[in-house]
Amino acid sequence: MKTKFIKAASARTLRPGTMQRVDLDGSRILIANVDGSYYAVDDTCSHEDASLATGSLKGELVKCPLHGSRFNVRTGEAMEEPAQENLRTYIVRVEGDDILVGLG
């Protein structure tokens, strides 16, 4: 199956150390800028139905605002309980000012 890339954000507005939630084809996806590199993971915490975009980003770790679980945005790995299930990751590429996320 071929990966379909969809414009998700603008590199101009997503500065290093920031993140934002986007809705693409019915999926809530979190895009994070870690020192100029962009990563995309599921926005919903795997422990409870909370948006990670309302949490905090420190380095490559995003902290869930509900119970404090931490996830690595590069790998999707659940780093801290209570979450035990990893997040799905997505391929990201940048074309000009466009941040594209691969779905499929």
Give all domains of the chain, ordered by start, each with its CATH number. Answer: 16-89 (2.102.10.10)
User: Does the structure show a pLDDT above 90 at 48?
Assistant: no
Other CB atoms within 10 Å distance of the CB of residue 86? 16
* Cα atoms in the 13 Å half-sphere on the side-chain side of 10: 2
Confidence of residue 2 (pLDDT cuts 50, 70, 90): confident
**Per residue in 55-76, is it b (16+ CB within 10 Å) or e — as a string?**
bebeebbbbbebeebbbbbeeb
What pLDDT digit, counting tens, does each position of 54-73 carry? Answer: 999 999 999 999 999 999 99
Average pLDDT, the chain: 95
Can you give the pTM of this predicted structure? 0.94
In the chain, how long is the greatest CA-to-CA distance? 39
